[in-house]
Structure 1
Amino acid sequence: MSKPLGYYTSHTPDDNSLLAKLEEEYGSTFEKMTNREKLSILMILASNLGNQLDGGVRGEIYAAAREMTNQLSLSDQAGIMEAIISQVRWGQSL
């Protein structure tokens, strides 16, 4: 994250919110977290958002995800994640 947390969220500095506490503890760009920790948060948040939506997931999607993890570079996997986050956030409402 090259921009501060407030760029991506409703956070404003010193507002005594959870986001303010996270920023104080881990830095405004989460620089005090490892990539593994950041990805763990991403996994947990994605799971939570997905569980809020109706419907299931087709088996072919799990198969496609397995192929991605087996055949794509780590950079391309991160790129897919970035694309999906953008599509979910800005492409269609939750």
Structure 2
Amino acid sequence: MSKPLGYYTSYTPGDDSLLEKVQEEYGSAFQKMSKREKLSILMILAGNIGAHLDEGVRGEIYAVARQMTDQLSLSDQAGIMEAIVSQVIRGQNAEPVHHS
């Protein structure tokens, strides 16, 4: 994250919010967090957002995700994460493909 937290969120300096406290503690670009800590936050936030959606998850998606963790390099896994986060933020949702 090269841009400060306020670029991505509703944080405004001096607003005494949780975002301000997080920025003060961990840096405006989370530079005071390890990669593992950042990934933990990402996992928790993704789970929370997913829990608020009405859609279900097709069983095959779990199998695909398992194949990705087993067969893709860590770099490719990170690239998949970046692509998905970008699509979720920009609201790009495709209709599920149903295979016969």
Instruction: Tell me the C-alpha RMSD between the 2 structures.
Output: 1.2
The amino acid that maps onto 1:32 is: K
Corresponding residue number in structure 2 for 1:82? 82
**1:92: how far off?**
4.4
Structure 2 unaligned segments of length 5 or more: list them: 94-100
TM-score scaled by structure 1?
Answer: 0.93
Partner of 1:60, secondary structure, is helix
Corresponding residue number in structure 2 for 1:14? 14
Identity, % of aligned positions: 76
- Looking at structure 1, the residues matched to 51 and 92 of structure 2 have their Cα atoms a distance apart, in angstroms, of 16
**Length, aligned pairs only:** 93
**1:55: how far off?**
2.5
The amino acid that maps onto 2:47 is: S
Structure 1 unaligned segments of length 5 or more: list them: none
- Looking at structure 1, the residues matched to 75 and 59 of structure 2 have their Cα atoms a distance apart, in angstroms, of 25
Partner of 2:2, secondary structure, is coil
Q: Which moved more, 1:11-20 or 1:42-51?
A: 11-20
Corresponding residue number in structure 1 for 2:68? 68
Q: Does 1:42 align with 2:42?
A: yes
- Looking at structure 2, the residues matched to 22 and 44 of structure 1 have their Cα atoms a distance apart, in angstroms, of 16
Corresponding residue number in structure 2 for 1:30? 30
- Looking at structure 2, the residues matched to 39 and 32 of structure 1 have their Cα atoms a distance apart, in angstroms, of 13
**1:12: how far off?**
1.4
TM-score scaled by structure 2?
Answer: 0.88
The amino acid that maps onto 1:73 is: S
The amino acid that maps onto 1:15 is: D
Partner of 1:91, secondary structure, is coil
- Tell me which structure has the larger Cα radius of gyration: 2
Partner of 2:28, secondary structure, is coil
